[in-house]
Structure 1
Amino acid sequence: MSSIVCSILGRNSIVLTILSPVILIFSLPPKYPIVRPDLKLECEWMDEELISYVDVKLADVCNENLGIGVLFFCCEMIAEIVKSKACEWTEICLDNAVYKLKNNLTGGELLRRVAESSAQSQEYLFQSGCYDCEVCFENKTGRQCILFMPCRHIFCRECVSAFFLEILNSQEVRTLSCLAAECKSSASQQTVLDLVGQEQFERYERLLLDRALARMDDVVPCPRKICQKPVLISNSCGMCGYSFCVQCFRAYHGVDGCHFNNADKKQLITKWNTAGEEERIQMARRFGGVRNLQKLIDAMLSERWIDENSKSCPRCRIRIEKTDGCNKMQCSKCGAMFCWLCDCLLDRNNPYGHFSAEGGNCANRLFDGMIAFEIGDAADFEVGWEDVIDDENDKNMGGWKLEAMRFALLVTFPVASFWFFNQPSLFKVFMKNFMVPDNREGDAALLQFKEELRARRRKREYETLLREELAYEEARRLSGNS
């Protein structure tokens, strides 16, 4: 049914697609149709002027058709008058409606009655038709279908009932609405009751109430099992007088923060991540609303992330995160230098000596864990060397020296560590995965290396050619058999 709204002028109004019916009350005399019947018009929205006009037209029809049945002609005349007048009207004022004055109704009461009559007429027309369900695609009568408003999507009652029951039996809690994709039209309470039954309807209303209460930050349930009534946040429960904290549900502890041990935090986060919609609503009610619970979980997740991804400065204890670089760290707050691996303070005059001390746990581990040097495997660099082989200018530019210079660009930082920190062991660690000959072996090693690459290329080309020949022979054999 359309909703009644208040206009700018302060008057109630409503938009209708179907007017409430016009009722023709007649009484047939014994000598009918020689004698005209007694006719009386009744309509909720017609004023006295329009009713008088229709009465005159009905009298003319009866006088012109004496001797034959006139009821059909009278109905046709009323329909024509209403249609012609409806084209002229932009609005209908009910202040002077005869039905209102006769039954001593207020304007608001008459407006609601007109809206109800219009809805009943619209429902009657809908039930009289046949429609295709947009889910099962079966053609059914209007009595077997549900019309959602205001979207006017139509589905059969069986499909809608199955859809609603599936939602109610699942963990999802939301308003039951139209089945069409991305449609926001909600089902009326009467429609839900007719489709799912009294028991499921009561559960549906209870879930909606729980969801609404869970979204209220100033409402929590009393933690006592014998109570469990929703109460406004105050000093104590208004039902039983128990004073408690709305977050941890222990005895009220004033301004002191809630105390959760690590096991409680882990259990709460796990329960929240695995809970369904209904269970999350219950959790939110326990912790004083969705916002409060989300704040608490976010704080716990932040603490866990900080514990897993940062360390405390050994001097000032501030938390520090390492994003990149070597394992020699410097606190931005107190300036202390320390080892990221073992958390020990380093000598400010020689901080790198800790990583070159023989026998230490951190020896030669200055760059442990640096993602920047996890550079693929040897096959990735083999392609680069093949590109060098195809370069026709390398013979005129020193051959091996040019290639060595190009490769040196890839390992600039390890080479720098070799020269600046005088740690040749680090250089060997970085270079051990690269399949590059030692440049001290001269051009003979380079020629041998290039020859191996050419052999691998020829082998791949031969395998490719062999596969193509086999595919060609197979295709020719199949075409010959056909």
Structure 2
Amino acid sequence: MDDQEEQDDELLALESIYDETVLSTIKDTDDKGGQFTACPHLPEKFYIQSEPLNKGNVESGLHKIQHLPPIVIHFQLPTNYPSIAPPHFTLTCKWLTHNQLSSLCQRLDELWEENKGMVILFTWINFLQEELFDFLQLSSPLDIRNIVISHNSSKNEENNLFDSRCIQDIVSQDLLLMAILDYNKQMKADIFERSMFLCSVCFIEKQGTNCICFMDCDHVFCKECMRDYFVIQISDGNVQNLICPHDKCQSEAHPSQVKALVPDDIYKRYDDLLLKSSLDTMMDIMYCPRRLCQCPVLLDRENNIGRCPSCQFVFCHLCKLVYHGLSPCRIKAAELNKLKEEYENADDEGKKFLEKKYGRRIIHQAIEESITREWLDNYTKPCPACGTSIQKIDGCNKMTCMKCRNYFCWLCGDSLSRSNPYSHFNMDGPCRNQLFQGMGEEEFDFEGDEFGEFEL
């Protein structure tokens, strides 16, 4: 078999082993060659070490990855290969230094010398995929902090420090980390989409293109089940509960995953509620009290003032009414009662948060107002004319408001005639003959219906 036949057979054999995403070949008679993308196999737990994101914490520079950008070998087969000459080649890589690439070139040359006269491409490819880490003595964490140097300087060219067949395919050191992380992310996504997964909600096996993976825990569920789950939770306002359905797992869905699954109107509600829940935890942010505005407002807590950037409403952040300067706050009873219940049901941390948010004076006012309101509800009734709270200490059920002098019935709350208020208790109805109902016997020792009906 002559060189041309051996070259054709070798390329055909490689094409039968590797798909077109890994190997591409050129079979022209005068220019045979191609390129191979070699992805070295990494250990299960593999990290790269970059410059720390937080200079006070070295651990912030560690990044766990599953895939490194490939080493690409471009090869061209001379007419007298494999009988006499080896293939011409170049090596391209982002995360290896020029010294390391030069060592690899030298090793490929050695492999050719050891197998001279035989086809060598498969041996080279197998070495780059399986033996590269051991040959270069690389391990986790892989230090990438000083990979790219000024290898184009005249000093390096004069001393021929690097093999001319080496190509470091990265512009600068600053771009290396992002290039590695982006490649790792893309490869994980590609592999995920080609794989099959069993959804533990509907128990149907589906391809990765029809599934989502929770980023923090790697639990996988089908998109259809998660779409229904997300829509129900968001519709109920539970935007903080979009957690992984796996038993005892607390991983949260990423907003991008939610957006990809739910309708636009549901995602808008999710986004608004998520923003609101975040703002609610911020001490210096509250919403404009105007019902038609509700724009987030940055507060000046020192002066208890807020100015809405949207409607320009200036308000007191304690009572949410128009700013009143040094005058005491006037807070609605319903809001004070709600604040009092929230404060009493909170734990120690929650109480401290509310005290910082509203101030102790408002908290104490809420508690006192609630106690006062509870007493008034239990022991007084409002005047039907002016609303003043009236307490009945003794006497009959014909009441006189000391503020507006209105007469009213203590039993039913109706206003009574100014000229003959007692006639109400002689008329047919629930209050008939009930003028003294509820009074103790120690006040009136009358029996029967001695005071049943009378004219005044």
Q: With the length of structure 1 as denominator, give the TM-score of the two structures.
A: 0.51
Deviations 1:371-411 (A, max 9, x none): xxxxxxxxxxxxxxxxxxxxxxxxxxxxxxxxxxxxxxxxx
- The aligned counterpart of 2:201 is 135
Tell me, yes or no, if the aligned pair for 1:27 and 1:39 is still in contact at 8 Å.
Answer: yes
Amino acid across the alignment from 1:171: G
From 222, 232, 235, give the equivalent of 1:156.
222
| Matches for 1:359-374 after TM superposition, within 5 Å | 359-360=441-442
Deviation at 1:12, TM superposition (A): 6.2
| C-alpha distance 216-294 of structure 1, shift in aligned 2 (>3 A) | farther
| Partner Cα distance (1:291, 1:148) in 2 | 40
From 269, 277, 280, give the equivalent of 1:211.
277
- The aligned counterpart of 1:400 is none
- The aligned counterpart of 2:63 is 15
| Partner Cα distance (1:197, 1:261) in 2 | 39
Other structure's SS at 2:177 match: helix
From 203, 211, 236, give the equivalent of 1:145.
211
Amino acid across the alignment from 1:173: V
| Partner Cα distance (1:135, 1:124) in 2 | 24
| Matches for 1:327-346 after TM superposition, within 5 Å | none
| C-alpha distance 28-300 of structure 1, shift in aligned 2 (>3 A) | farther
Tell me, yes or no, if the aligned pair for 1:220 and 1:233 is still in contact at 8 Å.
Answer: yes
Structure of larger gyration radius: 1
| Partner Cα distance (2:57, 2:283) in 1 | 38
Deviation at 1:93, TM superposition (A): 2.3
Per residue, is there more helix in 1 or in 2? 1
Deviation at 1:83, TM superposition (A): 4.3
Please tell me whether residue 94 in structure 1 is matched to residue 144 in structure 2.
yes
Deviation at 1:213, TM superposition (A): 1.6
Tell me, yes or no, if the aligned pair for 1:16 and 1:115 is still in contact at 8 Å.
Answer: no
Tell me, yes or no, if the aligned pair for 2:288 and 2:308 is still in contact at 8 Å.
Answer: no
Deviation at 1:133, TM superposition (A): 1.7
- The aligned counterpart of 1:444 is none
From 29, 33, 36, give the equivalent of 2:77.
29
Deviation at 1:77, TM superposition (A): 0.5
| Partner Cα distance (1:86, 1:8) in 2 | 31
Other structure's SS at 1:159 match: helix
Deviations 1:266-298 (A, max 9, x none): 9x759x99xxxxxxxxxxxxxx96999988866
| Partner Cα distance (1:112, 1:142) in 2 | 25
**Number of aligned residue pairs:** 303
From 245, 253, 264, give the equivalent of 1:179.
245
Amino acid across the alignment from 1:207: L
| Partner Cα distance (2:359, 2:268) in 1 | 27
Per residue, is there more strand in 1 or in 2? 2
Unaligned residue ranges in structure 2 (runs of 5+): 1-46, 152-167, 343-355, 381-439, 446-456
Deviations 1:91-146 (A, max 9, x none): 32224425996567554431222222222233333333322222222222233222
Other structure's SS at 1:31 match: coil
Other structure's SS at 1:254 match: coil
Deviations 1:160-204 (A, max 9, x none): 222222212222232633222442323333322222255443432
| Matches for 1:446-461 after TM superposition, within 5 Å | none
Deviations 1:45-76 (A, max 9, x none): 21223212222222333455566654332221
Q: What's the Cα RMSD here?
A: 4.5
Tell me, yes or no, if the aligned pair for 1:132 and 1:140 is still in contact at 8 Å.
Answer: yes
| C-alpha distance 306-63 of structure 1, shift in aligned 2 (>3 A) | farther
Other structure's SS at 1:244 match: strand
Tell me, yes or no, if the aligned pair for 2:233 and 2:241 is still in contact at 8 Å.
Answer: no
Deviation at 1:78, TM superposition (A): 0.8
Tell me, yes or no, if the aligned pair for 2:315 and 2:321 is still in contact at 8 Å.
Answer: yes
Range that drifts further, 103-112 or 70-79: 103-112
- The aligned counterpart of 1:71 is 121
From 144, 166, 177, give the equivalent of 2:232.
166
Other structure's SS at 2:282 match: coil
Unaligned residue ranges in structure 1 (runs of 5+): 274-287, 312-357, 364-482
| C-alpha distance 85-195 of structure 1, shift in aligned 2 (>3 A) | farther
Q: With the length of structure 2 as denominator, give the TM-score of the two structures.
A: 0.54
| Partner Cα distance (1:130, 1:33) in 2 | 43
- The aligned counterpart of 1:334 is none
Deviations 1:317-372 (A, max 9, x none): xxxxxxxxxxxxxxxxxxxxxxxxxxxxxxxxxxxxxxxxx941699xxxxxxxxx
